[in-house]
Structure 1
């Protein structure tokens, strides 16, 4: 049963979506001086420290070494390592606003993957229509010019869509780990991501040779704390207090924040293809999450 949304819950949901959505802006700023692997590693490490500290202060603990870390590692790879790196590489080639729009395809991918893993999930006509609508929106948002050749725009968009696919897979996988606290899962996945990404950063980017300006460096800290650690904790609070279905509404508000900040702060322009694609993606997400529904015509009974 879907819980009713009160005004305070709506407030927390919009704040959480804004924090998530603004990550694309700060990632774009950070990439001016910080390469993608180092950006992803710094984001994971700082966010892990913050969430693990919160976990311990609230009386929780990370699991001891054992079998639980096998699924935790898979979760970390799917929801942190791959998305953080793919988003960072994507932002090298596309606007932050387009990145936020394409990342809103998470519900579209989720509805395709969920029936393969969860018995209770089924492909309904509304969800199938939502998937087709969402992918049509992706094509429109990327634009016909990018699709005509393998340009940098298509490369950046592909990276962002890969991030959405990976994150969708990870969140579905997390639903199979029902016996573990959500906050423990969040802390564990970030811990795993930091352990994986820091060595890669050291090998690939040699970060000790970098001299980032204060702006990009501050943006990295904001991405880790303001756009990762805090909204992750708020999201789990929403799941507990508003329910999973209502929390899925984050997918609608995240790209709005990304688009507005990209236009207002970065001076990005939105062509009509992007705006139309945005509308298709949001409509598709609404159909697959059940927020919008296809109504069947009632068949009159014969007397």
Structure 2
């Protein structure tokens, strides 16, 4: 019947607005991570972020009845640890790399999901998915090109792609281990994992201290730094923006087609580039832009192509 079509279009437009708002919110907050990274460390950052986010989630659980208790603790813990480790790598990268470049590495996760599904779980992938994998890795090579990273080491440039690989295992764990879990339990496990990673890193650096470089370059090697009001203000802003933005994106998945919303999430890349230019005056070269576009197209093909011989992906997860 033709009558419901305008309503469906309105819901898709509403979802697009929510995802765009989410992307610009995260692009803004992620670009300011280097302000925190100039004086504090990665491990303290994630401990602070995890504590603030869990406090917000406990309030939401009380106000709206969000369920935080997992059905299978070990499965949720494995999935939360993988997702937390992938995002930890991502934030290590954005302290020294342009945010859209780091985000492009994390958005390679659907490509890795296909490869892992084929190589480890024996799932057969079709020609469209194979084309998407080729395009995606060509995009990665272009993004990692020397014109985009003058003065940055190869190990540093590979960090976002490593984050995408770990995040892919988290996506697979979501489908294979946590299909029956509540969203609140999965998000809570993710933030708990971040907090635990932060504690472990701080303990290791307390026992075996390193001499960090000044500024954002020392983000990973820097241990505990006594937080001041500026740090607490930035961390509260970041956690609040992430929590609200993730709610916007989750709401978009509830009111529109999952595949379409997943493709909409790639607006995160130009949004991050916009804020990088507006705040820091960063301008990406054409090579990096072409690589980002290829990664986005590859992700869109994987998500929207007809499911080919069991190569279905898990429901996409908003980028925390």
Q: TM-score range by the shorter chain?
A: 0.7 to 0.9
1:210 aligns with 226
2:138 aligns with 136
Residues 16, 252 of structure 2: 8 Å contact kept: no
Query: What is the CA deviation profile of residues 192-248 of structure 1, one whole-angstrom value per residue up to 9, with x for unaligned ones?
Result: 3323423433542542x435572x543333332212x22333333333322432231
Q: What does 1:185-204 align with in structure 2 at a 5 Å threshold?
A: 185-204=186-205
Query: What is the CA deviation profile of residues 2-36 of structure 1, one whole-angstrom value per residue up to 9, with x for unaligned ones?
Result: x7653222211211222333343022222111111
2:238 aligns with 223
1:178 aligns with 179
- Structure 1 residues without counterparts, runs of 5 or longer: 294-303
Which of residues 240, 246, 253 in structure 2 aligns to 1:232?
Answer: 246
Which of residues 108, 111, 135 in structure 1 aligns to 2:111?
Answer: 108
Which of residues 91, 94, 119 in structure 2 aligns to 1:91?
Answer: 94
- Structure 2 residues without counterparts, runs of 5 or longer: 1-7, 206-221, 308-320
Residues 41, 223 of structure 2: 8 Å contact kept: no
Q: What does 1:153-302 align with in structure 2 at a 5 Å threshold?
A: 153-176=153-176, 177-204=178-205, 205-207=222-224, 209-210=225-226, 214=230, 216-227=231-242, 229-290=243-304
Query: How far did residue 146 of structure 1 move?
Result: 7.9
Which of residues 22, 45, 70 in structure 1 aligns to 2:28?
Answer: 22
Relative to structure 1, is the Cα distance of residues 20 and 175 closer, same or farther in structure 2, using a 3 angstrom cutoff? farther
CA distance in 2 between partners of 1:98 and 1:194 (Å): 25
CA distance in 1 between partners of 2:149 and 2:227 (Å): 36
TM-score when normalising by structure 2: 0.77
2:42 aligns with 36
Query: Over aligned residues, Cα RMSD in angstroms?
Result: 3.0
Relative to structure 1, is the Cα distance of residues 183 and 274 closer, same or farther in structure 2, using a 3 angstrom cutoff? same
